[in-house]
Structure 1
Amino acid sequence: MKQTSNTSPARLSLIATSLSAALLLSACADFSGIKEQATELKVSQSGKADTVRWPDTNWSAELGGTQLSQLIETALTHNPGVQIAATRIANARALQDQLAADSQMSLTGNAESTYQRFTKNGMVPPPLAGSSESNNQMTVNLSYELDFWGKHQAQSRVGLSTEQAARAETESAKLLLSNAIARQWVQLQKQAGQLALTEQQLKLRKDWDSLSQQRLKAGLDNRSELQQNLVSVANLQAEALSWREAIAQTKLQLALLAGQTPEFANSIATPATSRKVDFYLPAELPLDLIGRKPEIIAAKWRIEALRGEVDLAKNRFYPNINLVGFAGLSSLGLDKLLKSDSAIIGAGPAIHLPLFEGGRLRAQLAGKVADTDSAVLQYNQAVLNALKDAAEQLQTLQSTSLQIAQQEQAQQAAQQVLTINRQRFETGTSNRLPVISAELALISQQKNMAELSARQLDARVNLIKALGGAYPAAQQ
């Protein structure tokens, strides 16, 4: 009696399915135990870098008027550093488009024709064996990757985060450039003011010299006082030259920051020294202001990009399944290529199973996770540095405000001494030398005030940089 086989098509299909499932499960290499260790500091974060309303530069007009604002606008347009930063956005956008294209269906065409002699001692049967003929093929090839594990989403996350980081980095470059120009402008304003005051001192010293010459001839003074005054004149002349050189160098630096040639420095007008800037000084700074700083936002998006790369590394632990297909024509001899009998067609899945790659994949994943931890720590360091910088500048502002208040008292006292000496001179109870001496003392106090005011403005500009823009109270 003939034995009946228990192997039916349905049973074979079940066995094949079970084997396939076993293979798929075995392909899922284990990545347990590999996870981030670092924790981000919590500060308020803005959304996408292309939708963030970045702080404007209205503070520059308040600080230096129209000329400073125009200088900063010129720099933002022509400075190579900002232009280089802007190109990173285009590169990041291209990467995002490339990653998006990888998730789409691929359709390619292929055509080839090879004239060859077929061996007599191989698998080619007669009469083709030993003959020469052209081998021709024209196909259209289709490929599509089935995304069961979120690979395409991870790729999109990497691309988008990289683009947002590039946008934030560009804004950071703009802020740093604006800060550098504003600080140079503050220095230029101080230098111009000090030069003007020095020239006033020099004029008074020359008047002193003229009066001393007259008193010396009259026998009212000795030559020692005259010589001391000449020393003061020489020192003031050297100081004036030093301030003129500083002004020229600062203008040259402003021209270079603006992305212009050195000749552009000649068109930069010396700022008015009488301009007074009033601003609100906050008692403390909210932590969420730090979160809007472009540098901080860029660091945050770099973390997101690396987390996308971590997801991609995890995705490699799972099977990769592609659907492939082709259709076209194939023939021996060109005369038969376009005939219907030359048609070819095929389709099927292509599966990559990481059966014996677990160690390599775990190492790759561990490396990406370590990179993410490093980015988180760098982000935390950037937040702490920004907080430290802001706190230092706020402390400088508060300290300088107190010093300015004390300096105003000293300046008022010097002004009162000058007023008294002028009254005595006008009533004929004293000569003009005490008046000149009081004027020189007042100008010295004004020089001290100019230094303190420049330090205060410089700290304010640095505080704006530390916060990523003018703090709200300063714009009210």
Structure 2
Amino acid sequence: MIRRTGKLAAAGILAAALSACAVGPDHQRPDQEMGDHYRHAEGWVQVDAAAQAEMARDWWTTFSDARLDGLMAQLLRENLTLREAEARYRQAQAGLRGAQAGLFPTVGSNASATRSGGGDGEAGNRYSLSGNVSWEVDVWGRVRRNVEAGEASAQASAADLAATQLSLQSTLAQTYFRLLSLDAEKRLMEQTITAYERSLQMTENRYQAGVSAQTDVAASLSQLENARAQRLALERQRAVHENALAVLTGRPPSDFSLDETMRLGIVPVVPAGVPSQLLQRRPDIVAAERRVAEANARIGVAQAAWFPSLTLSAQGGYSSGQWAQWLSAPSQFWSLGPALALALFDGGARQASVDSARAAHEAQSAAYRQTVLTALREVEDYLVSLRVQEQEQATQARALEASRETLRLITNQYEAGMVDYLSVVQAQASALSAERTAISLQADRLVNSVQLITALGGGWDVSLLGQEPETSAP
């Protein structure tokens, strides 16, 4: 027995030494040119690393809006899309644990009692109780590559969860700011309708006094009704945005309402950083890179099929034809030893598996590089949009002031009988358009700020892959 145990130990040591290597290529992140700066960041506010680090995952707090903070908290607790992504992350974690189980031996037991007979009419009993241990020695690294693939898959799933959360938060913030802009436009339309009602009354009085034509009354009434129709359209759009916020926060639209507010929001300063930081801060980029690592590990798993598998097994127990002697020493049996298995011909199945794994790795590498390029484009787009919109807003402010002054002058001239009412209508339409454009530009800047923050990763970092998500499990 001592000699047999020594031989088994020696075999185990040899197997462990052989399993130190693993077939297949080691993972390397695909190269992708990033550039050392953003092209459209010229003139953009630059901040140091400490200030940039302050933009944590609660990035929406930079807008200093308590209602937005509350909606974000509801989203994290109740959003069903987020719960689905979290469940998929737990599924990937379970898959990893399943792959890791292959590193350990399998222990089993068996007990049986049978009665059998032959043609001579004699029958006999057989009682058996046994235990067995089996371990596939990972000589060629198939199991370890499988675990490596499982780890990469779980990390990709964690990054997917972070990307889903960031996308939902971004959608909520954008929807919220659009709703605020609709509130501002609605207030403007109500003020405009009040002014148009006064104009209609004045025009009717002038018509009755014989100073104005009936066409002026018709034009004033048409302008008023058009403004009322636009207000109704704004109410419809606001209801649609409110319903979207309800679903994002996991509530039925009939059970959700958001009071109108006088506040539109202030555009915050968003630190852009440098392009290379996107590789660590964009969860979709990290997820794509982890899938490249998973595909790379699958190549090793496929290549390991070309080599024989080594299994160490041991079995022992009791077997007897009589119940009274079942657990007695003479009824003991045991066996132990290694077993090698190798497929000699498979019609090219193993080579096809390797080729498929290599092609999958190439596809994931291309997808990763495309994800990086898309991320760079998004950041550049939002940087140039915000920079130009800031300039556009300054120009629009001057145009708005001019349109207000024009309307004041034209109204005075009309009351003095110097111009017809058509001139007043045109001036009022121009002023209303300028007012709505100013509101729209401010909303666009807020939305683009959210989009830029999202494109930069929303304060997320690859180091958060090892932490549990903040979402609440159902």
Same fold (TM over 0.5): yes
Alpha carbons of structure 1 residues 373 and 59: separation in structure 2 relative to 1, 3 Å: same
Report the aligned-residue RMSD. 3.5
User: 2:363 matched to 1:374?
Assistant: yes
User: 2:373 matched to 1:384?
Assistant: yes
User: 2:385 matched to 1:412?
Assistant: no
Instruction: For 1:327 and 1:452, locate their aligned partners in 2 and report how far apart those are by CA, in whole Å.
Output: 80
Which residue is 1:232 aligned to?
223
Q: CA deviation at 1:422?
A: 9.6
Q: 1:145 aligns with which of 133, 136, 139?
A: 136
Describe how 1:12-23 pairs up with structure 2 within 5 A: none
Alpha carbons of structure 1 residues 367 and 435: separation in structure 2 relative to 1, 3 Å: closer
Alpha carbons of structure 1 residues 246 and 378: separation in structure 2 relative to 1, 3 Å: same
Give the letter aligned to residue 276 of structure 1: I
- What SS is found at the alignment partner of 2:135? strand
Describe how 1:14-413 pairs up with structure 2 within 5 A: 39-41=30-32, 56-63=56-63, 65-119=65-119, 130-266=121-257, 268-280=258-270, 286-289=275-278, 291-357=280-346, 359-413=348-402
Alpha carbons of structure 1 residues 41 and 442: separation in structure 2 relative to 1, 3 Å: same
Q: CA deviation at 1:210?
A: 1.5
Instruction: For 2:118 and 2:149, locate their aligned partners in 1 and report how far apart those are by CA, in whole Å.
Output: 51
Q: CA deviation at 1:157?
A: 0.7
Instruction: For 1:307 and 1:54, locate their aligned partners in 2 and report how far apart those are by CA, in whole Å.
Output: 36
Alpha carbons of structure 1 residues 271 and 57: separation in structure 2 relative to 1, 3 Å: farther
Contact 2:59 2:459 in 1 (8 A): yes
Which residue is 1:18 aligned to?
none
Give the letter aligned to residue 298 of structure 1: A
**Higher deviation after alignment, 151-160 or 178-187:** 151-160
Alpha carbons of structure 1 residues 383 and 370: separation in structure 2 relative to 1, 3 Å: same
Instruction: For 1:440 and 1:367, locate their aligned partners in 2 and report how far apart those are by CA, in whole Å.
Output: 64
Q: CA deviation at 1:369?
A: 1.2
Which residue is 2:465 aligned to?
none
Q: CA deviation at 1:337?
A: 1.1
Instruction: For 2:206 and 2:381, locate their aligned partners in 1 and report how far apart those are by CA, in whole Å.
Output: 54
Percent same amino acid among aligned pairs?
23
**Higher deviation after alignment, 456-465 or 105-114:** 456-465
- What SS is found at the alignment partner of 1:107? strand
Contact 1:390 1:466 in 2 (8 A): yes
Instruction: For 1:243 and 1:249, locate their aligned partners in 2 and report how far apart those are by CA, in whole Å.
Output: 10
Contact 2:282 2:460 in 1 (8 A): no
Contact 1:43 1:288 in 2 (8 A): no
Q: CA deviation at 1:440?
A: 6.7
User: 2:453 matched to 1:453?
Assistant: no
Gaps of 5+ in 2: 1-22, 36-52, 462-474
Q: CA deviation at 1:164?
A: 0.7
Larger Rg: 1
Q: CA deviation at 1:203?
A: 0.5
Alpha carbons of structure 1 residues 91 and 447: separation in structure 2 relative to 1, 3 Å: same
Give the letter aligned to residue 114 of structure 2: T
Which residue is 2:455 aligned to?
466
Give the letter aligned to residue 247 of structure 2: L
Give the letter aligned to residue 359 of structure 2: A
Instruction: For 1:368 and 1:92, locate their aligned partners in 2 and report how far apart those are by CA, in whole Å.
Output: 20
Contact 1:36 1:369 in 2 (8 A): no
Alpha carbons of structure 1 residues 328 and 35: separation in structure 2 relative to 1, 3 Å: closer
Alpha carbons of structure 1 residues 242 and 372: separation in structure 2 relative to 1, 3 Å: same
Gaps of 5+ in 1: 1-30, 45-52, 121-129
TM-score (norm 1): 0.79
Alpha carbons of structure 1 residues 161 and 345: separation in structure 2 relative to 1, 3 Å: same
Give the letter aligned to residue 235 of structure 1: N
Q: CA deviation at 1:459?
A: 2.2
**Higher deviation after alignment, 457-466 or 370-379:** 457-466
Contact 1:188 1:271 in 2 (8 A): no
Spell out, residue by residue over 1:312-345, the C-alpha distance to the aligned partner (whole angstroms, 9 max, x if none).
Answer: 1122222211111111001113232122110111
Instruction: For 1:108 and 1:471, locate their aligned partners in 2 and report how far apart those are by CA, in whole Å.
Output: 45
Contact 1:36 1:373 in 2 (8 A): no
